[in-house]
Structure 1
Amino acid sequence: MRGKSDPIAPCAAATAVLSGRATGTPKSRDGVVETVWVLRTARRHQALDAQISPLVKQAAPTLLELYGVGPETAGQRLASAGDNPEHMGSEGVFTHLAGVAPIPASSGRTHRHRPNRDGDRAANNALHTIVLVRMRFDERTRAYVERRTKEGLSKKDMSAASNDSLPVRSTAP
């Protein structure tokens, strides 16, 4: 039987529980964010899409103000985080949730990181969509891409770095 072989996640989870940092509060599954999740899941009629935008604005008004973030990607980010945005203490927490945070893959004297293949793939897709939009249309991101390309960085590496800079917290009370 093959299972998860990465020892970092279970050790980090156990440490968080033992230190008291992990509260274990589950997603409440009610409220505006749950409605966004249901509408995203239903997606059978275009009329449902029109209902997502006001709910996203209600749950996280500043999220839609970010360049490249539309109702669909914002809705996915909210659905992934759930009705308890306090769980998302930092951008790093969301990057782990979405499976885009690098994890150590060192051996001997070689120190490197590899992509984390775990996580919420739909959240990862939303982040990827935002990054692609920014790489194509946002002047600041285009300047970044040009500069980093000259430094020898691939677009895939730049995309991963950009995911870390996207805010995740809801501003809902």
Structure 2
Amino acid sequence: MSTTGMSWQDDEVIVGVDTHQRTHHAVALDHTGGVIADQEFPASQAGDNALLAWAQTLGTIGAIGIESTGSYGAGLTRTALAGGHEVIEVNRPAKAVRARAGKSDPIDAESAARAVLAGTATARPKVSTGVVESIRTLNLARDGAVKSRTAALLQLRDLVTTAPNEIRDILLPLTAAARVSKAAALRPDPARLEEPAHAVRHALRTLARRVQYLEEQIADTDSALSALVKQTVPTLVAARQVGTQTAAALLICAGQNLDRFASEASFAKLTGAAPLPASSGKTHRVRLNRGGDRQANKALHLVAVGRLRSDPRTREYAKRRRAQGLSTPDILRCLKRALVRESFSALKTDLLRA
């Protein structure tokens, strides 16, 4: 996920930006690393335009290093890319660096600019002006609704467990869906809420109706997501064991601009599917990578497990690899790496076609 090596011209300035929710602090360096100027700007469209205009008065903008391009710096990143500027995603300084150099907005902005100038920061940010960003936004809303529904169901279950016997004996034997329907129809007496039985009925009805409302939200978002994902990556969705949520997780991880990846190996590293060496002495082995995008890694894992259960070719592969001495976790790791290759090819086919 890196840009090619950069050589800086004498009139170019390299800008580093420390981003926040309400303000951005920018520092400009010349091609030799000297600080030219620094200034703070509001985090708004007008502020972003002013920051770029300020930088252009200092010289030709060679590149802009921005922290948090997917959150606090998302708006500035969109504005800079729309203006045709080279944007580099910069990680926040490590704790060791901060402990040595101190912490302030100008220091962090200068650190971002120096990371770009030195070539230690080379990653290009995701483009957030296409359909992939729409899918990410819808998926974010769905995930929130699913988590809230789970919390409400657990609260409902726990409340039933401690409810008065006349309520507990009715609701406890039911399935989760039947319990929600039954609890949503309870009729507490508003004038008798000082009595625990009626307070419990009121709380159970509130939780049950919350669950029902969240289920409606999830179903509505699922419908919209399914249509968008199938339209955007039909080749990926057509693959065995790849559903809407799996495809969405991989698509969100990859982003709209696949050209930011040097190869599918870079995508494998981003998804946490690239094996890490764990050799020592006469022992030569690799281990599971616990880094990368964990949602994408989870999606790959679910596809691998699903194919192990239902796909004859995958089952035959697993049988052959077990005979070679590999354990099930090792086989899953190999399958996930192969799935990255397959998924990246499908994503390229679909996104380049679009």
Contact 2:277 2:287 in 1 (8 A): yes
Report the CA distance between 1:28 and its aligned residue: 1.2
Separation (CA, whole Å) in 2 of partners of 1:56 and 1:28: 17
Q: Which is further off, 50-59 or 22-31?
A: 22-31
Contact 1:92 1:164 in 2 (8 A): no
Give 3-state SS (helix, strand or coil) of 1:99's partner. coil
Contact 2:271 2:297 in 1 (8 A): yes
TM-score scaled to structure 2, two decimals? 0.41
> Which one has more relative contact order, counting CA pairs under 8 Å at least 6 apart?
1
1:16-95 matched pairs, under 5 angstroms: 24-43=123-142, 44=145, 45-95=218-268
Give the CA RMSD over aligned residues: 2.5
Contact 1:81 1:87 in 2 (8 A): no
Change (3 A) 1:90 1:99: same
Counterpart of 1:131 (choices 304, 308, 320) is 304
Deviation per CA, 1:12-62: give whole Å up to 9, x if none.
xx9xx85xxx96431111211111111111113211111112211222221
Match of 1:172 in 2: 351
Separation (CA, whole Å) in 2 of partners of 1:136 and 1:91: 26
Deviation per CA, 1:107-154: give whole Å up to 9, x if none.
344332222221111011000011011111111111112222233221
Q: Which is further off, 120-129 or 151-160?
A: 151-160
Separation (CA, whole Å) in 1 of partners of 2:284 and 2:319: 27
Give 3-state SS (helix, strand or coil) of 2:124's partner. coil
> Higher strand fraction: Structure 1 or Structure 2?
2
TM-score scaled to structure 1, two decimals? 0.80
Change (3 A) 1:59 1:86: farther
Letter in 2 for 1:80: C
Change (3 A) 1:90 1:24: closer
1:113-132 matched pairs, under 5 angstroms: 113-132=286-305
Report the CA distance between 1:96 and its aligned residue: 0.6
Report the CA distance between 1:159 and its aligned residue: 0.7
Give 3-state SS (helix, strand or coil) of 2:316's partner. helix
Match of 1:99 in 2: 272
Contact 1:127 1:163 in 2 (8 A): yes
Contact 2:256 2:351 in 1 (8 A): no
Give 3-state SS (helix, strand or coil) of 2:307's partner. helix
Number of aligned residue pairs: 159
Q: Which consecutive segments of 4 or more residues in structure 1 shift more than 4 A? A: none
Give 3-state SS (helix, strand or coil) of 2:292's partner. coil
Separation (CA, whole Å) in 1 of partners of 2:332 and 2:287: 14
Change (3 A) 1:109 1:144: closer
Contact 1:80 1:123 in 2 (8 A): yes
In the alignment, structure 2 segments of 5+ residues that lack a partner are 1-93, 97-114, 146-217
Change (3 A) 1:88 1:138: farther
Contact 1:76 1:122 in 2 (8 A): yes
Identity %: 44
